[in-house]
Amino acid sequence: MISDDDFEDIKKRLQADNIKFQFGVGTMEEAKNYVGKLGEPIVVKDKELFAICNGKDTANRKYYPINKSSIFFKEMAYKMHVFDTVQRISLKDLMYGTITEDEVKSNLELGLMKDAYHSIIFGKSSINMEGIANLTGRSKVTANQVINGFSLYEKVALAKRESEKYKEKLDGAYQLLLPHDLSHLLLELYSEPQYVTVKEALERDHKIVTSVFKGLKNPILYEPNPEVMFVPMLPEIFFRKFASPEGDYIHASMESAGVIHFQPQEVVEIEVTRAS
């Protein structure tokens, strides 16, 4: 159960969005009924419930277990990080029109998004940011040397079963992050004479889509489920221009919080023993 102090903290954070707060008492069902009688956005605190709803529109009403909501807002408070980069525009380029500020901003946007995406996958130790591959609390399964496509398929299927131990729903689609040095195994035939590759078999049999990454140590399997996994990111990129004797500079920045997962055990790392 969330403490009164924690709930007050949540309340202050959401008041910026003009959400009205009411306090429900009794059972969860009583709190839901109370919510339904009001015609404006409210937040209800109950023994088990933290609810946000928009008026009487039941389709947009959403209820959260209190402990999950408190974790989310605390993580948001402590994990937002700034990604920034700078590019110089020389006086010569500006004078002759060989480059424009819009072109520079476009390049900066692309660089920021690549940096943020890489950090969401791998984390960023310099700012203590967790990514999917180094998420605290993730599950692990061990694998002996993965020497062929069939053994890769079997270990990924095992990882999915491990992930399902911590899930309430079992019908989701999965994402497999695969190290580049194992990517050739995806193209091996899993089923003959149908000529089905390992990559195709994983998607057909288990709804697992694969992405290959350089720099990844072990395969990571997870479900990109927004109900339990968030990647808070402010979509707006902020630009600031400043001058120097050599030319002008444009500074770009955006904010992200890495990966916040309510059930990190659902994320499974397959620890592969490689030949020495």
Identity of the highest mean pLDDT range in 54-68, 88-102, 114-128, 235-249: 114-128
Give 89's pLDDT tier (boundaries 50, 70, 90): confident
Cα gap 170→188, rounded to integer Å: 28
Q: Region 3-13: what's the mean pLDDT?
A: 58
pLDDT tens figures, 33-47 = 544 444 444 444 544
The phi and psi torsions of 159 (rounded to 5 degrees) equal -65, -35
Residue 138: closest CA among 269, 228, 231, 229: 269
Task: Report yes or no: 219 and 178 within 8 Å, Cβ to Cβ.
Answer: yes
Average pLDDT, the chain: 76
Tokens of 85: 């980069």
Angle, alpha carbons 188-193-199 (nearest 5°): 30
Task: Flag whether pLDDT at 160 surpasses 90.
Answer: yes
Tokens of 214: 């350089």
pLDDT of residue 56: 44
Give 13's pLDDT tier (boundaries 50, 70, 90): low
Task: Report yes or no: 149 and 188 within 8 Å, Cβ to Cβ.
Answer: yes
| Choice among 11-20, 171-180, 194-203 with the minimum mean pLDDT | 11-20
pLDDT of residue 222: 96
Q: Which residues pair with 246 in a beta bridge?
A: none
Task: Flag whether pLDDT at 50 surpasses 90.
Answer: no
- Which domains are assigned to the chain? 4-77 (no CATH), 81-276 (3.30.2320.10)
Cα gap 134→154, rounded to integer Å: 23
| Choice among 71-80, 100-109, 207-216, 256-265 with the minimum mean pLDDT | 71-80
Cα gap 108→175, rounded to integer Å: 28
Q: How many C-beta atoms lie closer than 10 Å to residue 149's C-beta?
A: 21
pLDDT of residue 52: 46
Cα gap 22→97, rounded to integer Å: 58
Q: Region 105-125: what's the mean pLDDT?
A: 88
Cα gap 250→56, rounded to integer Å: 47
pLDDT of residue 79: 59
Q: Region 86-115: what's the mean pLDDT?
A: 82
pLDDT tens figures, 223-232 = 998 888 888 7
Task: Flag whether pLDDT at 20 surpasses 50.
Answer: no
Report the percent of the chain where pLDDT is more than 70. 69
Task: Flag whether pLDDT at 167 surpasses 70.
Answer: yes
| Choice among 53-62, 142-151, 172-181, 263-272 with the minimum mean pLDDT | 53-62
Q: Region 63-71: what's the mean pLDDT?
A: 46
pLDDT tens figures, 117-147 = 898 999 988 878 889 999 999 999 998 878 8
Q: What's the pTM?
A: 0.66
pLDDT of residue 8: 60
CA distances for 69 relative to 51, 113, 147, 156, 271, angstroms: 9, 28, 43, 31, 32
Give 107's pLDDT tier (boundaries 50, 70, 90): confident
